[in-house]
Amino acid sequence: MARLYIDGQWRDSASTGRIQVHNPATEEVVGEVPDSSPEDVDRAVRAAREAFDGWAATPRATRVGHLRALRDALQDNSAELASMITTEVGSPTALATRVQVGLPISALGALIEALDTADEPETIRNSQVYREPAGVVGAITPWNYPLHQALAKIGPALAAGCTVVHKPSEVAPLSADALATIIDGIGLPRGVYNLVHGLGARSGAAITAHPDVDLISFTGSTAAGRKVSVAAAATVKRVALELGGKSANVILADADLPAAVKVGVANCFMNSGQTCTAWTRMLVHASRYDEAVELAVAAAAKYTVGDPTDPATRLGPLVSAAQRDRVMSYVERGRAEGAKEVFGGAAVPDRGYFVPPYVFADVDPFSTIAQEEIFGPVLSIIRFTDEDDAVRIANATPYGLAGGVWSASRDAALAVARRLRTGQVDINGAWFNPGAPFGGFKQSGTGRELGLHGYEEFTELKAVQL
């Protein structure tokens, strides 16, 4: 379509620049979007500002009704959306259907359910405390889960009464066009949702610095998040950041080791490792370390690399040539720093941005591959001596987004989980909950997404004394 969605209409960009979108499995150009100008961003922000008062005054039940319509429309178009995400991101079809599209639909449902029962206002002595919309939201979203990360911001922002200017990643923007088309069909007032494309350094920076944007919700790398925080500080706007991770999967001595390793490898390699919550560090008690390495190698060998539209494929390509080269540079760094490559180097297609899965053993917990976010299918296995040692290693990175703990004793696992400085922990492979708060400690970000807690990020508190 190569256009922008502003003030309820598809519009041409003021910029003549275009950004090509490539299929990472074939390297073919599959579309293009405008490289939006600051003028385009200003038009979108002005439309959102003009729509804000009316939308904020709309009863919350009506706003939630629009979210129900959006959820249902996404469900109706789920097959097409999954195919589009496979084309632009390279996610295997099953993953694109179940996670890339299924998860945001579930998350919207969880948000609607939470809002249906949420009470307001809160009474504190002689005060009535209200949650009011934060204002115009700049939602800047990444390429790895393009639909989910967009809806994790847009859904609660709209429910709270905010208006939105959305800039998706220029690497995988086509699903955002499809989302805007679906939103256009659910009857939102003009200007409530707006879409601009473009490079982060151009259109993203213009959104972040715009004086009429009240809140920035950003998902991306920690390095980019720092830049967003600095730029937003000039106008003292609120910032919510969902950034990188280097999550630990802690396997205690009494754990069900085959299950812990199988699930841990799957978590690390999901979406070809391009997942901020990936358990890229497998921490195993020394008494079971060698067995865990053998199990991890056997599990990794089952991850067939290839065409993401082939049902037999478990690992698709990385999203770009730059991402492929970055991951391979970390593999070389791991070798150079003395980690033992116990699995890797499997054949990959000649064309496309493919990287085979890698497993490293005897990894120094302070080495590069154990400290930095790689964002590819690279697993580091690290031994520990006791629970205190495991907690020290798990917490010894700048990140704190996710993690796992495995033990035959749920109480023992919970005790370790409570000591981990991270935003969420799964015990014995528990399922991800799309209604629970999602976000990180330390350099993994600020604020929370999903469910009622995610909704509250888009509100301001007002106390009225009676």
Are 202 and 333 contained in the same domain? no
Per-residue model confidence as pLDDT tens digits over 332-373: 999 999 999 999 988 999 999 999 999 999 999 999 999 999
3-state SS, one letter per residue, for the chain: CCCEEECCEEECCCCCCEEEEECCCCCCEEEEEECCCHHHHHHHHHHHHHHHHHHHHCCHHHHHHHHHHHHHHHHHCHHHHHHHHHHHHCCCHHHHHHHHHHHHHHHHHHHHHHHHHCCCCEEECCEEEEEEECCEEEEECCCCCHHHHHHHHHHHHHHHCCEEEEECCCCCCHHHHHHHHHHHCCCCCCCCEEECCCCHHHHHHHHHHCCCCCEEEEECCHHHHHHHHHHHHCCCCEEEEECCCCCEEEECCCCCHHHHHHHHHHHHHHHHHCCCCCCCEEEEEHHHHHHHHHHHHHHHCCCCECCCCCCCCCECCCCCHHHHHHHHHHHHHHHHCCCEEEECCCCCCCCCCCCCCEEEECCCCCCHHHHCCCCCCEEEEEEECCHHHHHHHHHCCCCCCCEEEECCCHHHHHHHHHHCCCCCCEECCCCCCCCCCECCCHHHEECCECHHHHHHCCEEEEEEEC
Omega prior to 121 cis, within 30 of 0: yes
* pTM for the model: 0.97
Are 199 and 288 contained in the same domain? no
Are 191 and 268 contained in the same domain? no
CATH code of the domain in which 108 resides: 3.40.605.10
How many domains are there within the chain? 2
Are 215 and 298 contained in the same domain? no
From residue 27, how far is each of 20, 23, 353 by CA, in Å?
11, 5, 8
Per-residue model confidence as pLDDT tens digits over 55-99: 999 999 999 999 999 999 999 999 999 999 999 999 999 999 999
Are 224 and 199 contained in the same domain? yes
Question: 329: which residues sit within 8 A by CB, 6+ positions away?
Answer: none
Are 217 and 265 contained in the same domain? no
- Enumerate the active-site residues: 242, 276
Q: Per residue of the chain (466 residues), give pLDDT as tens.
A: 569 999 999 999 999 999 999 999 999 999 999 999 999 999 999 999 999 999 999 999 999 999 999 999 999 999 999 999 999 999 999 999 999 999 999 999 999 999 998 888 999 999 999 999 999 999 999 999 999 999 999 999 999 999 999 999 999 999 999 999 999 999 999 999 999 999 999 999 999 999 999 999 999 999 999 999 999 999 999 999 999 999 999 999 999 999 999 999 999 999 999 999 999 999 999 999 999 999 999 999 999 999 999 999 999 999 999 999 999 999 999 999 999 999 998 899 999 999 999 999 999 999 999 999 999 999 999 999 999 999 999 999 999 999 999 999 999 999 999 999 999 999 999 999 999 999 999 999 999 999 999 999 999 999 999 9
Domain limits for position 202: 4-243+443-465
Q: Please state the φ and ψ torsions of residue 405, each to the nearest 5 degrees.
A: -135, 135
CATH code of the domain in which 325 resides: 3.40.309.10
Are 102 and 151 contained in the same domain? yes
Are 225 and 261 contained in the same domain? no
Are 265 and 201 contained in the same domain? no
Are 424 and 460 contained in the same domain? no
Are 20 and 75 contained in the same domain? yes
Are 343 and 207 contained in the same domain? no
